[in-house]
Amino acid sequence: MSLSALDLLIPRTTTSAISSACESHQIFVRRAPSTVRGIHPEMSCLGTAKLVCDPRDASSLLEAFNGIGRGDVVVVDNRGRVDHACLGQLLVLEGMAAGASGFIVWGCHRDHLALRTMGFPVFSCGPVPNAFPTNRQHELRDSRSVAFIGEAAVTDNDIVFADEDGVLFLSGHQLDSILPLNTAHIWPTAKAGFHNKMQDYKRLAR
């Protein structure tokens, strides 16, 4: 996809607006389950998906950070497990340093208060106190090129949109198909923060 097409998006785009646009064009849009939410109100992020499938320990996420492009959204498929956290403050700091613009986690996080204070976009199934169980380190690692966030299949280079209303995944072709958005028929909600993130993403993509 030509990422310059993002210039045609209206300044007040929300995930609700994008979803409505997809429905009007009869485009199936992949959505994360409603249980995947921002850890702080008004969090939003936008970027190209960078997948981490079946992390076994913190080192498996750190390895993935080596391939992050500036502005990527790290999509962590931990199979929706709620018995442990696969993301915490230190890993988020490492992801930020690598250039990530946010995290979408099909699983749980910890260090909740610290992450809320940092304000960096993290969307997950909620907080739990414990990290990876030690016995996971001995499991066979599943090498996959597709992540699943609930029933939504996500691949590298999908575009991720996330805000208070939810998390959407679109291919470049799907995004091209709904541009430009029609301000007369699409959600009018003002989202200056989301717009600023989108402008940053467009600058990085050029």
Give the chain's domains with CATH numbers: 3-205 (3.50.30.40)
Mean local confidence (pLDDT), 141-165: 89
pLDDT tops 60 at residue 122: yes
Does position 181 have pLDDT exceeding 90, yes or no? no
Q: What is the pLDDT confidence band of residue 9, given thresholds at 50, 70 and 90?
A: very low
Look at residues 94, 92, 99, 98 and name the one whose alpha carbon lies nearest to residue 121.
92
Average pLDDT over residues 40-64: 91
| pLDDT greater than 60 at residue 171 | yes
What's this model's pTM, rounded to 2 decimal places? 0.82
pLDDT for residue 12 is more than 90? no
Which H or E run includes 163?
A: strand 159-163
Coil/strand/helix, residue 186: coil
What is the sign of the dihedral through the CA atoms of 194, 200, 203 and 206? negative
Work out the mean pLDDT of the chain and round it to a whole number.
Answer: 83
Pick 70 or 1 by higher pLDDT. Answer: 70
Beta carbons within 8 Å of 21's beta carbon, 6+ residues apart: 178, 181, 182, 186
pLDDT band at 190 (very low <50, low <70, confident <90, very high): very low
Where does the pLDDT of residue 87 fall: very low under 50, low under 70, confident under 90, or very high at 90 and above? very high
Pairing type for strands 102-109 and 30-31 reads unpaired
Q: What percent of the chain has pLDDT over 70?
A: 77
- Residues 115-141 have a mean pLDDT of 84
Using pLDDT thresholds of 50, 70 and 90, give the confidence band for residue 136: low
Residue 69 CB coordination number (10 Å): 15
Alpha carbon distance 156, 133 (integer Å): 27
From first CA to last CA, the distance across the chain in angstroms is 12
Give the DSSP per-residue string, 44-86.
Answer: -EEEEEEEEES--SHHHHHHHHTTPPTTPEEEEEEEEEEEEEE
